[in-house]
Amino acid sequence: MADRVADSGFRCGALIALLALLAAVLTVVAAHPYLPGPPWTAGTWRWLLEGGGDVRRLILTDSLLPRLCAGLLCGGALGLAGVLFQQALRNPLAEPSTLGVAGGAQLALMATATLLPGFGGNLGTLGHGLVALGGGVGAAALVVGLAWRAALAPAVVILAGLAVGLTCSALASGLMLFNGAGFQALFLWASGSLSQNGWAIPQALAPQLAAGAVLALLLARPLALLDLGTEGAAGLGVPVRALRLATLALAVALSAAVVSAAGVIGFVGLAAPAMVRLAGARSLLARLTWAPPLGAALLWLADATTQVASQIAGSGARELPTGTLTALLGAPLLLWLLTRSGGGDGGPPVPAEPPARRLARSGPWLLAGLLALLLAAWLALAVGQGVGGWRWSGWADLQPLLYWRAPRMAAAMAAGAMLGAAGVLLQRLTGNPLAGPEVLGIGTGAAFGVILLYLAVPAFPVEAQVAAAGAGALATLCAVLLLGRRQGHAPERLLLTGVALTTVFGAVVALLLSSGDPRAFTLFRWLTGSTYLATPAIAIAAWTAALPLLAVPLLCARWLEILPLGEEAARGLGLRLPLVRGIVLLLVAALTTAATLVVGPLSFVGLMAPHAARLCGLQRAVPQLAGAALAGALVMVLADWLGRVLLFPAQMPAGLLATLLGAPYLLWLLRR
């Protein structure tokens, strides 16, 4: 045993030393333009220590060195927080980004900076830390409240954290959209930047990390008993729920400190514990010992890489945010861990489906849905705000307004109907009630294809945009289903896979939006689902795509009735599963692509609409498809109208508002 511990310690130490050596070399390369000579010469050190007002020396002592220390402290704090999260929840996938803590802290800081700019600017380092802590604690409290009835079961906590994180991201996107001139700087900070202009942040972080390390060591002994499982630890007298709450509180505090200092830096808290575990550090004490220095080395290496890459790109290039690079590198790690993870020590599974009514006659419900949709459409056309306040427009007054209101309403309706149908197809294909084109990252995959097109080609026709979006949606959908096949398309695994792929997309978006590209704000407005620029041609194109795409699934009704029965039953009933799945996947990709081009990648309509149809008793394939299409169209029409009138004269994108409406539904579903 002693030899095994020594071997694991040697491997962890060697890994940290290797990463630190690489980071040190890159740091020297990054600092070389500011040095009077080679860093190993006495003259260089004398120049550094003597003082003086040399600008190059000030850059080194007040920017690069504080940045190095801030990176080491942030990486160490994230590594420690990752170990605590994973041990408390018995889940190797837990870390600040996947639990919504980082998103809550970021949202609190962003709201303070945007809504109270004078107050936010005078808070100081300690004040920003307290604001971030409040946001992180609020997000964590919401997650714990959602999972409390399940005794903080790991799978439920992870899913609740992801839902809370998506909600916080939607709210943060809205704040950035309305920030105007400060949009780019705000996005750059939110992407995770370690740039420093003094020693204030390292001086504030150091005592926080030291206190966190001491408290973690005090909790190490009872936490180690959680390796026996919840029941085993409770049998030995450990107050499991209280211990988990205390550990989560400490991890949240560490995560909030990092967010207040550097923005959101994802996946370091996931990678550091995973790497020390692979190096042989099996015990909790060993992971607490080695994960913080490994996290520090990882973040140091990532930050040094961004600095060197910026120098290679030239003086006109904007530096890649460190958080963007860690997201690009960390998401593949999460995907790999998903293929190996067993999901913790159990707990109540995610509900197979929400409670549904008895099988109902479809006619009355579909007629009621159609009437509600027509009423909402008339409301969206006739009711609005103007200089004199609220106004109902009669037919005569409505004529000049139709050109502006009708196209966006019609486009939103078509997109909602397509997302609702895509959600039904996915849920019946996978047998998974949490499957949806937005939750699984399919919508963001479509947008990812468009982003890559933006990066590669300065100008392109609409046909190229449609092709890029379709390829991105299809590739993402296939990747999600392929990665989820090993776990039998378990709900939590598919959701985590979609979030990992969405993170890669978010990192590329961050790269573009912080690059200074003049198209960035227009692209961001589209990504949030704005229908502001919808024209009659766009509305006609949306319905031209929607009508045939909504009709084709009706021809597959028999398949859709059989698929939820499972593979064996489907084969026994004569289905050629590879062909059937391929056709359904193509339909989902086409529906999602067309909808995403209109309302952006996030809306939750594809998740909500099938459940709404099922709750009305529409459980057969064709009625559920029709009901989900009506429900999706209704939600998007209302979202577009509310986004137009609530903050008049400003407007909130329909996709963003639908996300804010849909995220609470996902939280409610998880609560059940």
Q: What is the pLDDT of residues 143-153, one digit of tens each?
A: 878 777 776 66
More confident residue, 489 or 388: 388
Domain end: 340, 359, 385, which one? 340
**Residue 513 covered by a domain:** yes
**Residue 614 covered by a domain:** yes
pLDDT bucket at 465, cuts 50 / 70 / 90? confident
**Residue 377 covered by a domain:** no
Same domain for 331 and 420, yes or no, is no
CA–CA dist 445, 484 (Å, integer): 17
Lowest mean pLDDT among 136-145, 203-212, 634-643: 136-145
What is the structure's pLDDT at 190?
A: 65
State yes or no: pLDDT of 548 exceeds 90. yes
The three-class DSSP label of residue 224 is: helix
What is the structure's pLDDT at 514?
A: 63
State yes or no: pLDDT of 421 exceeds 90. yes
Beta-bridge mates of residue 386: 389
How many domains are contained in the chain?
A: 2
pLDDT bucket at 486, cuts 50 / 70 / 90? low
State yes or no: pLDDT of 492 exceeds 70. no
For residue 607, give its domain range: 402-671
Share of the chain above pLDDT 90, in %: 18
**CATH code at 213?**
1.10.3470.10
Backbone angles phi, psi at 392, to 5 degrees: -100, 120
State yes or no: pLDDT of 550 exceeds 80. yes
User: Tokens 């961004």 correspond to what residue?
Assistant: 306
Domain end: 311, 340, 369, which one? 340
State yes or no: pLDDT of 621 exceeds 90. no
Same domain for 6 and 147, yes or no, is yes
Helix, strand, coil distribution of the chain in percent, nearest 5: 75, 0, 20
State yes or no: pLDDT of 125 exceeds 60. no
Beta-bridge mates of residue 384: 391
What is the structure's pLDDT at 351?
A: 45
What is the structure's pLDDT at 495?
A: 61
More confident residue, 513 or 629: 629
pLDDT, tens digit (0-9, with 9 covering 90-100), for 497-511: 666 666 666 666 666
**Residue 365 covered by a domain:** no
**Residue 45 covered by a domain:** no
Same domain for 464 and 558, yes or no, is yes
**Residue 392 covered by a domain:** no
Same domain for 493 and 608, yes or no, is yes
CA–CA dist 397, 386 (Å, integer): 13
How far out from the chain centre does Cα 649 lie?
Answer: 30
What is the structure's pLDDT at 510?
A: 65
State yes or no: pLDDT of 348 exceeds 50. no
Same domain for 156 and 283, yes or no, is yes
pLDDT bucket at 371, cuts 50 / 70 / 90? very high
What phi-psi label fits residue 653: left (phi over 0), alpha (psi between -120 and 50 degrees) or beta? beta
What is the structure's pLDDT at 344?
A: 44
State yes or no: pLDDT of 631 exceeds 80. yes
State yes or no: pLDDT of 357 exceeds 90. no
State yes or no: pLDDT of 5 exceeds 60. no
Same domain for 324 and 445, yes or no, is no
DSSP state string for 272-302: HHHHHHHTT--SHHHHHHHHHHHHHHHHHHH
Section 388-405 average pLDDT: 79
In 10 A of CB 22, how many CB atoms? Answer: 15
Same domain for 406 and 322, yes or no, is no
What is the structure's pLDDT at 345?
A: 45
Backbone angles phi, psi at 391, to 5 degrees: -150, 135
Lowest mean pLDDT among 83-92, 248-257, 337-346, 357-366: 337-346
Same domain for 428 and 315, yes or no, is no
CA–CA dist 249, 243 (Å, integer): 10
Same domain for 529 and 610, yes or no, is yes
Section 170-177 average pLDDT: 75
State yes or no: pLDDT of 89 exceeds 90. no
Q: Alpha-carbon Rg of the chain, whole angstroms? A: 26
pLDDT bucket at 329, cuts 50 / 70 / 90? confident
CA–CA dist 423, 435 (Å, integer): 7
Share of the chain above pLDDT 70, in %: 81
**Residue 409 covered by a domain:** yes
Same domain for 421 and 512, yes or no, is yes
**Residue 214 covered by a domain:** yes
CA–CA dist 376, 641 (Å, integer): 9
Q: Which of 442, 451, 397, 402 is nearest to 419 (CA)?
A: 442
Same domain for 333 and 409, yes or no, is no
Same domain for 331 and 406, yes or no, is no
Q: What is the mean pLDDT of the chain?
A: 79
Lowest mean pLDDT among 116-130, 286-300, 624-638: 116-130
Domain end: 340, 362, 380, which one? 340
User: Tokens 């220590």 correspond to what residue?
Assistant: 49
